[in-house]
């Protein structure tokens, strides 16, 4: 375990919990997925000791506070952009998974001076750009909201999570159970009612993004969320992008037990964002 310190950043609309790992290298900001928390990236962070890492809990997740307002994609993105603007020297490297990847896409496309290089983990952006209401993900988030309103203990969640995905390690099950019980029900409202992507101009984001980008895609045939067409569109429209598809890996890729995706990430950052 590498040493870190825990802090609170008071953004305009929320108090964000974050941890800082003070490596001597360049700055790396980490954004987790929906219903997760910064600890979901710990297996990656421990293997990047030379980076100066900030790992942030999104609003309503982990130990961050509740937002004074909604929980739409642009809200999460505003929070993270404000953090980067105030806590770093900008031009950071950024790793985002799922929701964290969507947040990175928004920031890179609206404030391109903040992110120099980014790694996007299985970001299903087309679900939000095209007919999100009625999609399988929107329906799933309605169910998530119901589950959160019922409340549950960590032990109850561990049983459900382990039964739902027997490939998870004990540590992964523990982390996901903790994260779910810390998740505030308000975070799901925009995802459940279909307003989550409101105001997001994906085409403008594609056009304005300057960051060198690595796209990590899970296997759509094995639980990955990002279809091949999403990746093709990103490669065609981003100014500087490359992609890697990992057959047999689901939406979570290898965030619990780093393997091939992590190796691709390390190689990419080493070439495109050297210290």
CA-to-CA distance for 251 and 98, rounded, in angstroms? 8
Q: How many domains does the chain have?
A: 1
Residue 19 placed within a domain: yes
pLDDT of residue 256: 80
Residue 175 placed within a domain: no
Residue 28 placed within a domain: yes
Residue 152 placed within a domain: no
Radius of gyration of the chain (CA): 17
Q: Which of 80, 30, 84, 89 shows the shortest CA–CA distance to 59?
A: 80
Q: What's the CATH code of the domain at 26?
A: 3.40.50.1820
Residue 67 placed within a domain: yes
Residue 10 placed within a domain: yes
pLDDT tens by residue, the chain, 275 residues: 678 999 999 999 999 999 999 999 999 999 999 999 999 999 999 999 999 999 999 999 999 999 999 999 999 999 999 999 999 999 999 999 999 999 999 999 999 999 999 999 999 999 998 789 999 999 999 999 999 988 889 999 999 999 988 878 888 899 999 999 999 999 999 999 999 999 999 999 999 999 999 999 999 999 999 999 999 999 999 999 999 999 999 999 998 889 999 999 999 999 999 87
Q: Residues near 268 by Cβ (< 8 Å), separated by ≥ 6?
A: 117, 119, 214, 242
Owning domain of residue 254? 5-129+200-269
Q: Which long-range contacts link 166-170 to residues 24+ away (Cβ below 8 Å)?
A: 168/256, 169/256, 169/257
Residue 164 placed within a domain: no
Residue 146 placed within a domain: no
């Amino acid at each position: 375990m590498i040493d870190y310190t825990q802090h609170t950043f008071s953004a305009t609309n929320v108090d964000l919990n974050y941890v800082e790992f003070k490596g001597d290298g360049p700055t790396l900001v980490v954004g987790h997925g929906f219903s997760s928390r910064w600890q979901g990236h710990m297996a990656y962070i421990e293997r990047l000791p030379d980076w100066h890492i900030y790992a942030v809990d999104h609003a309503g997740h982990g130990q961050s506070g509740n937002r004074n307002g909604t929980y739409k994609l642009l809200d999460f993105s505003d929070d993270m952009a404000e953090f980067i603007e105030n806590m770093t020297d900008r031009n950071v490297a950024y790793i985002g998974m799922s929701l964290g990847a969507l947040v990175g896409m928004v920031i890179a496309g609206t404030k391109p001076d903040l992110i120099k290089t980014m790694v996007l983990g299985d970001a299903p952006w087309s679900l939000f750009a095209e007919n999100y209401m009625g999609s399988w993900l929107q329906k799933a988030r309605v169910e998530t909201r119901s589950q959160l309103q019922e409340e549950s203990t960590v032990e109850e969640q561990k049983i459900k999570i382990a039964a739902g995905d027997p490939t998870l390690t004990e540590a992964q099950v523990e982390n996901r159970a903790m994260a779910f019980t810390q998740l505030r029900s308000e975070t799901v409202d925009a995802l459940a009612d279909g307003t989550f992507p409101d105001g997001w101009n994906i085409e403008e984001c594609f056009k304005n993004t300057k960051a060198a980008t690595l796209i990590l895609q899970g296997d759509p045939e094995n639980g990955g969320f990002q279809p091949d067409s999403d990746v093709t569109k990103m490669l065609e429209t981003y100014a500087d992008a490359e992609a890697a598809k990992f057959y047999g890996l689901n939406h979570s890729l290898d965030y619990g037990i780093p393997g091939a995706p992590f190796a691709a990430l390390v190689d990419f950052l080493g070439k495109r964002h050297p210290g």
